[in-house]
Structure 1
């Protein structure tokens, strides 16, 4: 098991998602198990392990990813007044696929 929810489940179509914004190389969708009232995830459509494993040939993809993150963050900020954009690394990164969380509101109790 690769511990890559995004490749194994989302991008493969095994887990359906509610899309927010999609380009040829990037997908932003509502988190399947949200921790915040607004919890959107943005991912590249091909596997990159994390922010610190990006290579020079990923620069164009990274620009496209950040353009999607910027647009989604602007939509959330317009609707809710504020948002946070977060990525995790190392042990904080549950799924070993580069992803960014766009969140707004107080954390939901689990």
Structure 2
């Protein structure tokens, strides 16, 4: 079920629980501002989720409330993950689902990094 990004942050969402160490993840990167891990239901041969460590619901929430260091750190983490996994060439796709129309399922900002095969057109029909 998609969520409304204007709702308050839910401290018990699955990514908040992963950040607190209550749930396991298959980590690929962690720094002061971000955590990256394998998706438990991969949609491509490589499917990584990158999340900021702060309690942000969406891009608009993050861009309005996060510090400059958090924003820069999160964006740098996404690029670092792509480089570390050797995805820069032949390429990868980033996707962030926001809100009901974007089909966001977890109320914590996250970026999907897809790679490992040709991914086809961005939107189908």
Same fold (TM over 0.5): yes
Count of matched residue positions in the alignment of Structure 1 and Structure 2? 104
Distance 1:43 1:62, change over 3 A: same
TM-score, normalised to structure 1, is 0.81
Aligned to 1:13: 21
Larger radius of gyration: 2
Is residue 103 of structure 1 aligned with residue 114 of structure 2?
Answer: yes
Q: Which runs of 5+ in 1 are unaligned?
A: none
Aligned to 1:37: 45
Alignment RMSD (CA, Å): 2.0
Aligned to 2:74: 65
Deviation at 1:57, TM superposition (A): 4.3
Deviation at 1:53, TM superposition (A): 1.1
Q: Is the 8 A contact 1:48 1:98 kept in 2?
A: yes
Deviation at 1:59, TM superposition (A): 2.4
Q: Is the 8 A contact 1:36 1:106 kept in 2?
A: no
